[in-house]
Structure formats: C-alpha cells, structure tokens
A and B are shown apart, each in its own frame.
Chain A
C-alpha cells in the first residue's frame, strides 16, 4: 500500500458496505478502490443514496465496513476496534459532519481548541490555532458563545474550525456547506482553498459545485460505485477578463 513517495493518505481496497436493517440488505457501497495522496483535495459527488456519506463515514471509522480494506497513512485501519479508531482519528483525522455535533455545554472557543489539546498541542498553540481559524471564518465575536446560541450556518463553520484545529493528516467532510448562505460559503471556500494550499489533504462529500470546483479531483459515485474519477481542469479565460466574461461563458 505504499508508493515511491510514501504511503497514501487514504487507500481503500474493494470496500463494501451492506446495511441490514430489518428486511432486504441494502448495498450502500459496492467495491470501492480509492487512493488519495497527501496534499490532494478530492470532492465526492453523486446523487443522494449513491453511498457518498457511507464512504466517508467508513474512512473516518464512524461506520464499520462489511468487507474490504481501509488504509490510513500506510496503516491498516478497517481491522481496528472502536477505541483504536478513536485514537487514530484524534491523531490523524478531522471530521466535519452534516449536522455539526458540537459539544453544547462548552463555548465555541473550547469546542475548537479541544481536539488540538487532545491531540497533544500546547495550550498556547491550541489557542493560536483557534484564533486563526475563527478569524478566517468570521467568528471571532462568537468565541465565548454557546453553540446553541449560534445560527445553523455559524455552527457549521465552528464545526469546520474544530475539524481543522488539529491540523489533521486528512480532513473528511460530509456536505460542509449544506447549511450556509452564499456569504458564509465564500468564507468557507476561502479557508478550504487556503489550508489546501498549505498542504491539507481533504476528502469532501459535496453537492455544492462551488466547493467541488476547488478540488483537484472529483470522484463521482452512482449506486455505490465509482463511475468517474478525474482531475478538474482549468478553463482558459482571457488574462484580464472580468465578470463581463461570465456573459460569454454562459453564452
């Protein structure tokens, strides 16, 4: 599971998930081979029910696989038990959920600092990282608030800050802009672009083409399988082109 440049950030081999809830078995993921290199930004797209969320949940150890292998940074992970996964996540993975999962009785600042502290960062470093992330996401004035006092969009941004607090090897995210209006999405896009340029590996389920457009590579799922996997090219625009070119782009 190793390439010349070292282990991949994420690697799966014939990964399968079958849900058995009562009646018929549901094949959510049917044999996915996916390799994500360090520093890569991969967007996962596809219709609802195509297995996107199940896939990233398995990559983060939040859902067990039925068969197949998951490797995280060169280490076999699908065979780990729950507590070993918890340790691996704390060390290597940041996760942004569709529905935030913030700790309600802690302030926004503490929610963001906690993973860094658990991951072994010094209090000073954790605080600096928190201040940087909240500033980038326009949330500095909310640092002392409780999550319940925030709007859905604000909670979603706090969840992103928390996932990045630890500077994880891999950021996994499930629809991280699903609750954001266009202005807040812009802040999130800017931050994602920036951490990606700094080398952050990102695997992100998204329906939002603005987010997918930031990715290096888009993987499309359909019915639990990969139907497309490729780079997002750059289109050639006139060097000095302005917004007026949009008219032509859409012509």
Chain B
C-alpha cells in the first residue's frame, strides 16, 4: 500500500483516516477496504525511509493529529514507480507444473487435468459475470478491474485449449 498512500500524499497532505476515506472513495469496491492499522504502520515505514514527514496539528479538546506530507525523496520514488512498466502475468504457474509433471509420475491423465482446470476457470468466469452484473455500472474502476480479470481468464482458457490441441 506504500505507493498508493504516497500518490495520495503527493496531491495534498493528509492524516491517516483521511487517506483511508480517499482510498475507499477512489476505488469503491474495486479494492479491499484498507484497515486503519495497516495505514498507520505503512505511514510509519514511509516516514522512517524519508519518503514522508509528519507534523502534529493541535486540535481543540482532542488529541493532536499527525498530518503527513510527501518529501522530495518521496516524489522521486513515486515518479520511478509510475514510470516503470509492470511485469506481465505469470504463465509458469502451479497448473503448468502439474501438466508437465503428471505424466512423469503417472498420477494423472493430462486430458483430465486440462478438463478439470477448464471447468474451474469457467466457474470463476460465471462468478465474474454475476459480479459485473451486481456492480454499479458507474463504478468504472470496479468494472475495469472485473473486465481485466475476465480477459486474463479468457487468455488462460485459450492457453488450455492450445495445450489440449498439442496433446491430441
């Protein structure tokens, strides 16, 4: 959560609870709601690394609150994060291991492995279709996230089909 918080702080200084609310508002249901404890732990680490600093702001008849802001070093870390491309999805996953190793051990038939995996992917897809229908159409981040998951799943299914063709 480090870089999400840093990104929010680069826009304006804020205290922990404001950051929690901002994340919830921006992502809606597209991201698991962050726990306030996690936010404070992350802010503490960012401060220790010199990426944010905090000042105590006095409040009438309440304890002081800590307002965090992004440092020049933090800004640099953020730029580096935004500017670097992300890794592609993994293909060499656990299913791949089973597929390759099953015939060696004689523990499973590869066609049966592929068929079982396909049914499982389709069951996940069914769930995603239902989720997309239940999710507010105007919640674009959530809809895009679901669509991204669907496209990945479609690619996984296409790959299973290729494996099956290859074995035939």
- Give me the interface of A with B, judged by CB distance under 8 Å: 45-47, 182, 186, 189-190, 208-210, 212-214, 218, 220, 222-223, 227-228, 230-235, 237, 241-250
Find residues 21-50 in chain B having any chain A CB closer than 8 Å to their own CB: 27-33
Closest 4 CB pairs of A and B: A242-B29, A213-B125, A243-B142, A213-B126
Segment touching A, from B52-60, B71-79, B95-103, B147-155: B147-155
Segment touching A, from B10-18, B80-88, B127-135: B127-135
Do the beta carbons of B146 and A218 come within 8 Å of each other? no
Contacting A220 at CB < 8 Å: which of B30, B115, B125?
Answer: B115
Q: Give 24 A-B contacts (CB < 8 Å), ordered by A residue.
A: A189-B129, A209-B121, A209-B122, A210-B150, A213-B128, A218-B119, A222-B168, A223-B168, A227-B115, A227-B164, A228-B115, A233-B120, A234-B123, A237-B127, A242-B30, A243-B143, A243-B145, A244-B30, A244-B32, A246-B148, A247-B31, A247-B32, A249-B128, A250-B149
Q: Cβ of B131: which chain A residues have Cβ within 8 Å of it? A: 237, 241-243, 245-246
Do the beta carbons of A210 and B146 come within 8 Å of each other? no
The answer to whether A235 and B121 touch (CB under 8 A), given A182-B147, A222-B165, is no
Q: Cβ of B157: which chain A residues have Cβ within 8 Å of it? A: 209
Q: Complex formed: what's the CA distance from A202 to B143 in Å?
A: 28
Q: Complex formed: what's the CA distance from A212 to B125 in Å?
A: 8
Consensus secondary structure, chain B interface? helix
Q: Complex formed: what's the CA distance from A212 to B161 in Å?
A: 14
Q: Cβ of B161: which chain A residues have Cβ within 8 Å of it? A: 45-47
Do the beta carbons of B29 and A209 come within 8 Å of each other? no
What is the CB-to-nearest-CB distance from A60 to chain B, in angstroms, rounded to a whole number? 24
Q: Complex formed: what's the CA distance from A46 to B161 in Å?
A: 7
Do the beta carbons of B132 and A186 come within 8 Å of each other? yes
Q: Cβ of A231: which chain B residues have Cβ within 8 Å of it? A: 119
Q: Cβ of B147: which chain A residues have Cβ within 8 Å of it? A: 182
Do the beta carbons of B127 and A214 come within 8 Å of each other? no
Do the beta carbons of B119 and A243 come within 8 Å of each other? no
What is the CB-to-nearest-CB distance from A30 to chain B, in angstroms, rounded to a whole number? 12
Do the beta carbons of B168 and A212 come within 8 Å of each other? no
The answer to whether A228 and B145 touch (CB under 8 A), given A235-B124, A237-B127, A242-B29, is no
Q: Cβ of B120: which chain A residues have Cβ within 8 Å of it? A: 233, 235
With CB as the reference atom, state the residue of chain A lying closest to B125: A213
Do the beta carbons of A244 and B33 come within 8 Å of each other? yes
Do the beta carbons of B30 and A243 come within 8 Å of each other? yes
Q: Cβ of B152: which chain A residues have Cβ within 8 Å of it? A: 250
With CB as the reference atom, state the residue of chain A lying closest to B139: A243
What is the CB-to-nearest-CB distance from B118 to chain A, in angstroms, rounded to a whole number? 7
Q: Complex formed: what's the CA distance from A190 to B137 in Å?
A: 14
Q: Complex formed: what's the CA distance from A45 to B157 in Å?
A: 10
Q: Cβ of B108: which chain A residues have Cβ within 8 Å of it? A: none
B3, CB-defined interface residue at 8 Å? no
What is the CB-to-nearest-CB distance from A213 to chain B, in angstroms, rounded to a whole number? 4
Q: Cβ of B32: which chain A residues have Cβ within 8 Å of it? A: 244-245, 247-248
Q: Cβ of B124: which chain A residues have Cβ within 8 Å of it? A: 235, 249
Do the beta carbons of A209 and B125 come within 8 Å of each other? yes
Q: Cβ of B164: which chain A residues have Cβ within 8 Å of it? A: 47, 220, 222, 227
Q: Complex formed: what's the CA distance from A209 to B126 in Å?
A: 8
Do the beta carbons of A244 and B29 come within 8 Å of each other? yes
What is the CB-to-nearest-CB distance from B73 to chain A, in angstroms, rounded to a whole number? 29
Do the beta carbons of A213 and B146 come within 8 Å of each other? no
Q: Cβ of B168: which chain A residues have Cβ within 8 Å of it? A: 222-223
Q: Cβ of A235: which chain B residues have Cβ within 8 Å of it? A: 120, 123-124, 126-127
With CB as the reference atom, state the residue of chain B lying closest to A231: B119
